[in-house]
Each structure stands twice: as structure tokens, then as C-alpha cells.
Amino acid sequence: MSNPTLVIGNKNYSSWSLRPWLALRKAGIAFDEVKVLLDKPDTKKRILEHTPAGKVPALVVDGQTVWDSLSICEWAAERRPDLWPKDPADRAHARSISAEMHSGFPALRAALPMNIRATGRHVPSTPELEADIARVLDIWNGCRAAHGNHGPWLFGHFSIADAMFAPVATRLRTYGIAVDDTAQAYIDTLFADLDFKEWLAEADGEEDMLRIEEVG
């Protein structure tokens, strides 16, 4: 049986791609990777070669396609159940905040798009953006208060909830958003993680690749 193939967008920009990529890596599930550069004339055509949804990420497994970041994470959890907390109440909580991240925070998404290479960029604040950021920090603080004795992740051990919020950590750092000590410690945990650091390094390296494509 061949490895599944994860189809992703640019590592610098594609927050949705980062989530299942990180979950699969943390689950120890081997996969091949296909990157489709976003905002190119052939982007849509190339994505449609892998998934009828026409969006990344998508996971191709033995001829079947699983699309949407949270669905791919759930696919991984079926094979590695420890991607969710073991305790039923904690598992329900982790699923709730993961779904909230998946469907909510529109002001944060619009004002602070993921752009790992743009460190130091600043944008005007709005009440809606401040409310979204406050909600993220409230989630992080609540999880760390309840599970901080069990490890450095939101529920002590790494879970899909961490994968879902990982792109937010890059956004807060990119745009210089001030956070409290608990949130900063959690962000530091993500940025110190070896798998996450690999994604960041490859995102940094994409700049030259894009320049070559533009002039070639």
C-alpha cells in the first residue's frame, strides 16, 4: 500500500494546509506531499487534478480523496486516536474549539492573513479584530489552566486542537500582536517544535522558488 498524498498550497500562506500537515506529522503517519502554488494561472486546474472540491488541502488515499483540513485531521485520528484527548469531556472540548476555529474568527482571518515571511507587519486594529484575538487568548488560557501540568500543548499532549490553532500563532507573531505570558509560552512551544520549524524553514525557502518562477 502506497503512502497517502497530501496536496497543499504555499507553506508561507496556506494556513489550511498547515493544519493537517502538522497533524499527520505528529501522528507519525507517512505521506507524500504535492505543493500547488496559489494565485497562479494554472492553480485551479492543478488542484482539480487532485480533488473535485477545487481547494487545498486534500488527502488522496488509495484513489479516494479526503478534503477539508478538519476532515483530514479526523481521518488521521481514526488511525491515531491519541490525536484527540483520551478523556471524553476533554475530547469534546478539543473538538468544540477546533470546530470554532474552523468556522469562526472572520475578522482575524481577514485582517491578519497568514504570511510567515512578513514578520514586523502591522495592521490597524478594529473592535471585531480585538474581539477575535481576545477569544483566541481566552481559549488558550483556559486550556493551559486546566492542562498545564500535563504538558506544553493546549491539552497537555499535542492534539488536533493544536494543529487547528497553529496558523494563528504565526499570525500573532507576524503582525506583532501583544499577548499575555501564557499565550506567549504556548506560541513559543509551537515555534520550538521540530515539525513546525520544518514548515517554517520551507516557507522561508519558497521566496526564491517563487522569484525563479516569475522570471523563468
Same domain membership, residue 15 and residue 36:
yes
If one counts the domains in the chain, the total is 2
Res 25 pLDDT > 60: yes
Contact 85, 70 (CB under 8 A): no
- Look over the chain and give the mean of its residue pLDDT values, rounded to a whole number: 94
Asked whether residue 212 is assigned to any structural domain, the reply reads no
25-35: average pLDDT? 97
Distance between CA atoms of residues 22 and 123, nearest Å: 28
Confidence (pLDDT) at 120: 86
33-60: average pLDDT? 92
Confidence (pLDDT) at 209: 54
Query: What predicted TM-score, i.e. pTM, was given to this entire model?
Result: 0.93
Same domain membership, residue 71 and residue 112:
no
Same domain membership, residue 42 and residue 68:
yes
Res 200 pLDDT > 60: yes
Longest CA–CA span in the chain (Å) reads 54
Distance between CA atoms of residues 102 and 86, nearest Å: 22
Confidence (pLDDT) at 211: 46
Asked whether residue 71 is assigned to any structural domain, the reply reads yes
Q: Write down the residue that cell numbers 513546525 correspond to.
A: 196
Lowest mean pLDDT among 51-60, 90-99, 130-139, 154-163: 51-60
Domain of residue 99 covers 84-195
Res 9 pLDDT > 90: yes
Res 140 pLDDT > 60: yes
What are the residues facing 167 on neighbouring strands?
none
Please name the residues in contact with 72: beta carbons below 8 A apart, sequence gap of 6 or more: 6, 19, 20, 23, 24, 57, 58, 59, 66
Q: Write down the residue that cell numbers 470554532 correspond to.
A: 100
Q: What percent of the chain has pLDDT over 90?
A: 88
